[in-house]
Amino acid sequence: QVALVESGGGSVQAGGSLRLSCGASGYTYSNYCMAWFRQAPGKKREEVATIDKYGSTKYANSVKGRFTISKDSAQTALYLQMNSLKPEDTAMYYCAADLWIGWCRQQYTFWGQGTQVTVSS
């Protein structure tokens, strides 16, 4: 089993920035699809951003132009750079991974415990 660990969450004022990180000791992401999800109280879990084996990215409309998903050069860490944060970005953010099967499935097998992001107005 792959155990993902997120870090970098915290409290920030609207307009501020945070950088979330996700890693799994002893693993690389070369053969994985990776994603960031978030879930706020009373809302469905939302896929925020994805990055595939080759670095192709996709974003939810709500974060386009503000968030950037990336992997480090060694593909040992996943990041989510969040800029121009809004109160509606407040949620628990989760790192997720799924094995590459020639494409990314629309589901994920491995999940982190989450890191809380709180944006105040």
**Longest CA span, the chain:** 43
Q: Is the distance from CB of 76 to CB of 29 less than 8 angstroms?
A: yes
Rounded Cα–Cα distance for residues 97 and 113 (Å)? 13
Q: What is the pLDDT of residue 13?
A: 98
pLDDT digits (tens, 9 = 90+) for 23-72: 987 788 899 999 999 999 999 999 999 999 999 999 999 999 999 999 99
Check residue 1 and give its pLDDT. Answer: 61
pLDDT at residue number 77 = 94
Encode pLDDT of 83-120 as tens digits: 999 999 999 999 999 999 999 998 999 999 999 999 99
What is the rounded distance in angstroms from the CA atom of residue 121 to the CA atom of residue 56? Answer: 33
Alpha-carbon span 92 to 80, nearest angstrom: 13
